[in-house]
Amino acid sequence: MGAPTDGKTIQATSIGSDSANLIIELEGRERAAKQFPWYYGPTYLLFWVGLFFAVVIPLFQAVPTALKIAEESASPGKFVAERAQGILLSISQMGPRVVGDHVNEVTIVEYMLAEIAKVRSAMRDDLFDLECEVQRVSGSYLHNGLVNHYQGVQNVIVKLSTRTSNSSSYLLVNSHYDTKPGSPGAGDDAYMVAVMLEVLRQMAISADLFLHPIVFLFNGGEEQPMLGSHGFITQHRWSANCKALINLDGSGGRELLFQGGPNHPWLMEHYKKSIPHPFATTTGEEIFQAGLIPSDTDFRIFRDFGVVPGLDMAGIYNGFVYHTEFDRYTVISGGALQSTGDNVLALVQSISNAHEMYDTEPYSEGHSVFFDFIGLFFVFYKESTGVVLNICFSIGAMLLVCLSLWRMRKVSGHAVGTFAGAFGVQFLLALAGFVLALALPLIMCVLYDAGDRTLTYFSNSWLVIGLFICPSVIGLILPLTLYLTLRPNEKITHAYHLQIAGHAYCVLLAVLCLVTTALSIRSAYLFLISIVFYVGALIINLVTRLHCRGYYWSFVLGASQLMPFLYHAYLFHMFIVILIPMVGRFGVTTNPDTIIAVLCAFGTILSLSFAAPLINMFRRPKSMLGGLALAMFVFCMISVSDVGFPYRPKTNVMRVDMMQVHRRFFEHDGSMSSENSGYYLHMLDRNKDGPLHDTMNLTGLTRLGEDCDSELMCGIPCYRWCSARKEARWLPREEPVQLPYPTVLELVNKTVLARGDQARLEFRLSGPPNMGLFFKPRSGVKLLRWSFAQGMLDNPATYRPPLQVQITYGIDSTPIEFYVELSKDNGNFDEPICELGVSGHYVGPRVERDALSEQFLATLPDYTFSMQWPSSYARYIY
């Protein structure tokens, strides 16, 4: 007789090896099927919080050590941040640099020429040629619903080329040295001017040659808006040779690459291979180009008027002081300058040696998908490649989910319909969790807005954790937790239910990935990242059969979520850092909390869609939901205390743009029917004028409202932001506003043309460097032609009266002469044919305010910043 044999061995021998394996899996599943003790649950949640603060925040804030001038000899060819800091200090100490003011037109131009002369003296003139000139340019163009007409705007332009180069293709590098009224502009954009000057120096003193000339454009009219770049790209003799662009703007700090191309992915290839500190995202490009950001850059002008492909990079720190008097040298770190300088220098060196520059057209191959991974490396691929990846991984994920469900059915022995039904229920629960994760933060927005508590996180951004992120996490896992607590289907184990829930989220993300891909949204890559790592974990669990052994599969899944969590948390933290300062200038009609809430919700969903539901591995998951609800309650209590007051002096200010206005209204016979003065307040955030009443006497303050349409442009000298004029406030004052000098419009000539039904009116306009014209033809009258860009007149269905022209002059203060030609149905030009409004804006920093205005401005709360100036408004009827 043989050796004794136990029952399991006899059973395995009799029924075959496959069935034996199934029995072993079942036994293993029974041993591992118990949920983990509840006290591990909070530790699990805190792990993800700790990962965010221990990894994401330090990497987001990481910058290199600033290189000193004394260390330059030991690091030849490196960007020297200390020298750039010296330039930045000198420029910011000049104060505001507004187009038309002496500082912008003379002081800084002379300084720039002196710095360029220093570069010339240090240059390897045996290897390089340097040409420098000051361009004075005039022009007119249509942008953002109004015509910008300018004269005498100045640019400082440098061309650096190697003596041996015969290339006619130039690389254009651009930044601007002018500022908003009242702002020293250290971050916007003296920061980038200093970077460019040091890059120019390093290129000129290096022994390394480059193939293509480099044009450094220091433009003097970006804020008015974008006059200098338009003047260069449409009129300068070098502009036609510019084949690629690096545009530099922002508010200081690490520069984000947020626009590229269009349709030139080779630029991304050079960014990838050259940049030492990558920081970029396709999603930022799509958000910006969708018009969701209340800013613009010169990149638009080069793209639309010069058809120059390029890379648009902007510093993203210091958003709270952007365009305020607190944008000073002290807010700029040497490490940030070093990071930006390293990147720009490396990129200039790479593109100036690019063979694609000889002829860029063959390399125009569609858009790119691009992003950095938490600052460690850069990823990019063509949009067409992204479509293939999105489709393949999404469909592959669905097939693997089906395979996993089939495997569960085979191991458990239940019918196919049992698992199909369970998956269907879990998919609906995943969809409900997705909806709730978005809805609960938005409900918080509605409640806070109804209670006049918007922007509570403006000075303490950590409040968004409790206000928006905790509700989003609760919404994400609430449906699944309630379902698993009820356990309606006992045929399927708890571990299988939880695993099927992950499959459901995977399929939901795959569907979203396919839909966004079909809509040509390149940010579909966000879903792809989550899908790729989930698929990787699923393959491991299928191959090792861990997915049929209790909760062992969850360890693989949890580990696989580290990378998606780090990326999505990093990305959405970046968006929150950028957008929280911006929502303070989104206007009064938009609830800014909804923007931050949606960002937090999407960040939560993408970061934790697979990780958060795993709290159901632990006993008492509802207690953890209760803990999250308690945390949310505590944050809410803090937010309605003084901690939640939005504004802080000098750092997180409320913006109140204000004009001291003198108004006159002239009738058709030339008589003045009314003259008065007051303060025109343009409110930039949802809290409107409410916080101002604590320190200011605003008796008589009124909202212009719908009835202001009875008067041309509501009777106010609105400045660019005219579309929001009905939400503006008007506060009359008894004493007239004293203006430095008058704004004068003269009708030089009025001629009825030969046809008899058309007339030509010729005008001369003199006044401050910033003026505005508003045209409103009377009924039966058409505006046919004028001296300005014709875009609005050529598209009357799109641009309806009143039509706005903004006039700016720089170094040339010669009176503006212009004409308009109109037609009238009955040919009677002796009666009123047109209303014409004229505004004058005395925005220069040296312009004095009258004593009463100074007293009124002094009552502004200390947590406000007012971009303010005297202005005039006159309405004429011709």
pLDDT in tens, 575-631: 999 999 999 999 999 999 999 999 999 999 999 999 999 999 999 999 999 999 999
**Predicted confidence (pLDDT) per residue in 74-104, tens digit:** 999 999 999 999 999 999 999 999 999 999 9
Of the ranges 26-30, 44-48, 751-755, 799-803, which one carries the lowest mean pLDDT score?
26-30
In 3D space, the residue among 299, 304, 254 whose CA is nearest the CA of residue 281 turns out to be 254
Pairing of strands 242-250, 702-703: unpaired
What pLDDT score does 488 carry? 64
User: 3-class DSSP state for residue 285?
Assistant: helix
Mean residue pLDDT of the chain comes to: 93
pTM of the model: 0.93
> Using CA atoms, how far apart are residues 202 and 598, in angstroms rounded to an integer?
44
User: 3-class DSSP state for residue 688?
Assistant: coil
Question: Is 819 a residue whose pLDDT tops 80?
Answer: yes
- Note the Cα 604 to chain centre separation in Å: 20
Domain spans of the chain, in order of start: 69-141+155-374, 384-644, 654-877
In 3D space, the residue among 475, 485, 531 whose CA is nearest the CA of residue 505 turns out to be 531
What pLDDT score does 23 carry? 44
H-run or E-run covering 650: none
pLDDT (mean) for 413-422: 88
Token pair in block for residue 573: 């933290």
Amino acid present at 689: D
What pLDDT score does 414 carry? 84
pLDDT (mean) for 10-27: 44
User: 3-class DSSP state for residue 603?
Assistant: helix
Strand partners of residue 877: 835
Q: Is 368 exposed, middle or buried (0-12, 13-18, 19+ CB in 10 A)?
A: buried
Task: Give backbone dihedrals phi and psi of 476, rounded to 5 degrees, phi first.
Answer: -65, -40
Question: Is 795 a residue whose pLDDT tops 60?
Answer: yes
Residues whose CB is less than 8 angstroms from the CB of residue 157 and which lie 6 or more positions away in sequence, other chains included:
132, 133, 134, 135, 215, 216, 217, 218, 232, 236, 238
Contact present, 169 and 308 (Cβ < 8 Å): no
Res. 33 pLDDT band, cuts 50 70 90: low
Cα 576–Cα 248–Cα 648 angle in degrees, nearest 5: 40
Question: Is 739 a residue whose pLDDT tops 50?
Answer: yes
pLDDT (mean) for 519-525: 96
Q: DSSP string covering 799-818, please?
A: SPSSEEEEEEESS--PPEEE
In 3D space, the residue among 711, 661, 660, 712 whose CA is nearest the CA of residue 873 turns out to be 661
> Using CA atoms, how far apart are residues 450 and 452, in angstroms rounded to an integer?
6
> Using CA atoms, how far apart are residues 325 and 610, in angstroms rounded to an integer?
45
In 3D space, the residue among 179, 316, 331, 189 whose CA is nearest the CA of residue 651 turns out to be 331
Token pair in block for residue 846: 């040296």
pLDDT (mean) for 19-32: 46
Question: Is 8 a residue whose pLDDT tops 70?
Answer: no
Q: What is the dihedral sign for C-alpha 526, 529, 530, 531?
A: positive
CA distances, 148 to each of 708, 765, 874 (Å): 25, 15, 20
Q: Could you report how far apart the first and last alpha carbons of the chain are, in Å?
A: 124
In 3D space, the residue among 359, 239, 347, 360 whose CA is nearest the CA of residue 298 turns out to be 239
Burial 344-364 (b: 16+ CB within 10 A, else e): bbbbbbbbbbbebbeebeebe
Topology of domain 69-141+155-374 in CATH is Aminopeptidase (3.40.630)
Question: Is 13 a residue whose pLDDT tops 70?
Answer: no
> Using CA atoms, how far apart are residues 178 and 833, in angstroms rounded to an integer?
39
37 versus 112: which is more confidently predicted?
Answer: 112
Question: Is 572 a residue whose pLDDT tops 60?
Answer: yes
Output DSSP code: residue 790.
S
Amino acid present at 336: A
Token pair in block for residue 834: 């047109």
> Using CA atoms, how far apart are residues 268 and 256, in angstroms rounded to an integer?
13
Question: Is 133 a residue whose pLDDT tops 80?
Answer: yes
Alpha helices (H) along 451-561: 464, 470-486, 494-518, 525-544, 552-560
Directed axis angle between helix 383-412 and helix 494-518, to 10°?
A: 160
> Using CA atoms, how far apart are residues 22 and 5, in angstroms rounded to an integer?
20
What pLDDT score does 26 carry? 46
pLDDT (mean) for 312-338: 95
Directed axis angle between helix 191-205 and helix 334-351, to 10°?
A: 50
CA distances, 83 to each of 24, 115, 253, 318 (Å): 71, 11, 17, 21
Task: Give backbone dihedrals phi and psi of 257, rounded to 5 degrees, phi first.
Answer: -80, 110
Residues whose CB is less than 8 angstroms from the CB of residue 311 and which lie 6 or more positions away in sequence, other chains included:
245, 246, 247, 257, 259, 260, 267, 271, 347
What pLDDT score does 81 carry? 98
Res. 778 pLDDT band, cuts 50 70 90: very high
Question: Is 25 a residue whose pLDDT tops 60?
Answer: no
Of the ranges 23-27, 84-88, 179-183, 208-212, which one carries the lowest mean pLDDT score?
23-27
> Using CA atoms, how far apart are residues 686 and 795, in angstroms rounded to an integer?
34
In 3D space, the residue among 645, 596, 611 whose CA is nearest the CA of residue 466 turns out to be 596
Q: DSSP string covering 298-309, please?
A: THHHHHHHS---
Question: Is 825 a residue whose pLDDT tops 90?
Answer: no
> Using CA atoms, how far apart are residues 147 and 341, in angstroms rounded to an integer?
35
**Predicted confidence (pLDDT) per residue in 199-226, tens digit:** 999 999 999 999 999 999 999 999 989 9
Peptide bond into 225 cis (omega under 30): yes
What pLDDT score does 489 carry? 62
**% of residues, the chain, pLDDT over 90:** 86
**Predicted confidence (pLDDT) per residue in 276-322, tens digit:** 999 999 999 999 888 778 788 999 999 999 989 999 999 999 999 99
pLDDT (mean) for 780-786: 95
Amino acid present at 463: L
Determine the length of the chain. Answer: 878
User: 3-class DSSP state for residue 146?
Assistant: strand
What pLDDT score does 491 carry? 81
H-run or E-run covering 565: helix 562-582
